[in-house]
Chain A
Amino acid sequence: MKNTLTIAWKETKTYFASPMAYIIMAVYAALAAYYFVTSISGVLPEATIRGYVIPSTFIFTLLSPIITMRLLAEEQKLGTLELLMTSPVRDYEIVMGKFLASMASLLSILVPTIYLVIMLTWFATPDVGPILSGYLGLVLFGMSTLSVGLFASSLSGNQIVAAVLAMGILLILTILDLASAYAGGIFADLVLQLSITTHLESFARGVIDTHDMVYYAIFTTFMLFLTVRSLESRRWR
């Protein structure tokens, strides 16, 4: 646990020392604001944050791989992975440390959007529930996208390859809900359930459903497990 925190802290410091952190933060803040304004400018506007929670699926698909691409790919390129793997640190501690650091990055891009919530409560009287559940959904959804990104980063010593691979996997997982329209019967439902976007819908509506939370928890755990395995496999090559 101590090793995990040491690695997480080091990565977080490195992340916030680079301009990337602030560029990503600004990009997300701008996009969220745009979608938010569009959603409340309709004929019958709703006082919700749904306007930017749902489009975030697409935004995270692009931003998460950029947050995670460095984490393991760079270690491989610099040769520092050899150092970490010959230090008294377990492989899963390395992965968990990196993952926690990416979670900190994710939270940092969500923080600026709080001003949208403040504006909403200033001019209207929104329901607090859907706002909180919306953010919970974003964190869980973001967590899943980061785990995919981290896995991709473990596969390659090249950051660009890692990012593109993660975006590819995430895009496929995102459009699965569209693909379900072409499948029939029980299969359609299965494909729909596998899509990582489907499970965000209920959070955006203000419903915290255990099965959605379990989905994200299992998905993330599975991807992190694959990442640990991928690291371990380097020893056997």
Chain B
Amino acid sequence: MIAFIIHERAIEAAPITIGKRDMQDNAGTPMIEVEDLTKFYGEYPAIENVSFTVDRGEILGFLGPNAAGKTTTMRILTGFMPPTSGAARIAGYDVVDQSLEVRRHIGYLPETVPLYTEMSVTDYLDFMGRIRGMDKEWRRRRIAEVIDTCRLGDYRTSLIGKLSKGFRQRVGIAQAILHEPEVLIMDEPTIGIDPIQVVETRNLIKGFGGEHTVILSTHILPEVSMVCQRVIIIHEGQVVAVDRPDNLSERLRGTERLEVDIRGPSAEVMNALRDLPGVLDIVRVDRADVGSYNIETTGSDDLREAISALVLQRGWGLLRLQPIQMSLEEIFLRLTEPESDKE
């Protein structure tokens, strides 16, 4: 409750320094608290009992396949829609009861970048600043800053409708950080832009950590390990795992897959491969003259050398040997399987 009062005073006294003041005043309490959040669309639950907390200055990745409930969770956090049950607080404000206060503290980049196509970049940012209650001086300073940060300098007066997808994304990010929000919520910020811009965007987001608290959703696994300090994996509306990205990759490193094409008698090849240490399972994909094998390994050793040695020794032909990265769907299976085994 004390944190509350300090907050409101800070806003009245000096809006420009809210972020810094809050950080000193409320250090230690989590910036985002989510408790048992559940949302039903009719009969169908989009998310069920989702709970997590995010500390100040932390970058949290929200990883999950499409329709896992990432957008729903974000929409609840931003006050766009209320949860069916459960509660969420941002900077100590309840997202349902104190929605307006919550909205003052967040910057939001929805999945479809919300832009007025007939406005110019500067006009759009000015409008966004106004409806967030930024005064003239603050707007002038911040618009210049975000245009610089998001490298929109050459497009200040361009109509947004004429910009390419990547630049629109940058304008979207610019509006989200314009009012120096304490919390940034970004729904798939790197989707649909070219690889160079993806790298730029990731670096940009990385730079927000420390000062801003960031939640970003993605379905790209490497993105999470590159940008985030902590990951929440959500699948079919439920939190499957919460961990640091490196721990997570450790857990996932349990198994690896190789695809091998070998010319040789298939039964013999199968048996020989199965006898290799570290092989868990082999699936043979039939082709006319070559056998294609999907080999699942424990991942502790690299089996590639062993396989090539074996093939040479027997005098078969090694046509292809390729390690396969696991798809996100498979990772979810890996993560969910042991849990269900225990039950």
Q: Do A and B bind each other?
A: yes
Contact between B81 and A235 (Cβ–Cβ < 8 Å)?
yes
Given contacts A6-B131, A7-B131, contact A85 B80 (CB under 8 A): yes
Contact between A89 and B118 (Cβ–Cβ < 8 Å)?
no
Contact between A78 and B114 (Cβ–Cβ < 8 Å)?
yes
Complex Cα–Cα for A76 and B80 (A): 13
Query: Which of A6, A79, A88 counts the most chain B CB atoms within 10 A?
Result: A88
Q: Choose from B82, B104, B110 the contact partner of A83 (Cβ within 8 Å).
A: B110
Does A10 interact with chain B (Cβ within 8 Å)?
Answer: yes
Given contacts A86-B79, A235-B80, A236-B81, contact A79 B106 (CB under 8 A): no
Q: Which residues in window 12-50 of B have CB below 8 A to A?
A: none
Q: Which residues in window 66-125 of A have CB below 8 A to B?
A: 78-90
Given contacts A82-B80, A235-B81, contact A88 B132 (CB under 8 A): yes
Does A38 interact with chain B (Cβ within 8 Å)?
Answer: no
Contact between B114 and A87 (Cβ–Cβ < 8 Å)?
no
Contact between B100 and A80 (Cβ–Cβ < 8 Å)?
no
Contact between B119 and A90 (Cβ–Cβ < 8 Å)?
no
Contact between A80 and B115 (Cβ–Cβ < 8 Å)?
yes
Contacts of A43 in B (CB 8 A): none
Q: Which residues in window 25-64 of A have CB below 8 A to B?
A: none
Complex Cα–Cα for A46 and B80 (A): 57
Q: Which residues in window 110-127 of B have CB below 8 A to A?
A: 110, 112-119, 127
Contacts of A221 in B (CB 8 A): none
Complex Cα–Cα for A81 and B110 (A): 11
Q: Choose from B106, B118, B131 the contact partner of A17 (Cβ within 8 Å).
A: B118
Contacts of A3 in B (CB 8 A): 130-131, 133
Contacts of B114 in A (CB 8 A): 78-83
- What is the 8 Å Cβ interface bit string for chain B, positions 57-82, against chain A (1 contact, 0 not)? 00000000000000000010011111
Contact between A86 and B117 (Cβ–Cβ < 8 Å)?
no
Complex Cα–Cα for A84 and B175 (A): 12
Complex Cα–Cα for A173 and B229 (A): 60
Q: Shortest Cβ distance from B130 into chain A, in angstroms?
A: 4
Q: Shortest Cβ distance from A9 into chain B, in angstroms?
A: 9
Contacts of B115 in A (CB 8 A): 78, 80
Contacts of A85 in B (CB 8 A): 79-80
Query: Which of A7, A17, A82, A86 counts the most chain B CB atoms within 10 A?
Result: A86
Q: Shortest Cβ distance from A230 into chain B, in angstroms?
A: 15
- What is the 8 Å Cβ interface bit string for chain A, positions 1-26, against chain B (1 contact, 0 not)? 01100110010001001100000000
Q: Choose from B108, B127, B133 the contact partner of A86 (Cβ within 8 Å).
A: B108
Q: Choose from A86, A89, A90 the contact partner of B80 (Cβ within 8 Å).
A: A86
Q: Report B's interface with A, CB cutoff 8 A.
A: 75, 78-82, 100-101, 103-104, 106, 108, 110, 112-119, 127-128, 130-133, 175
Nearest 6 pairs between A and B by C-beta? A83-B114, A86-B78, A80-B114, A79-B112, A79-B114, A6-B130
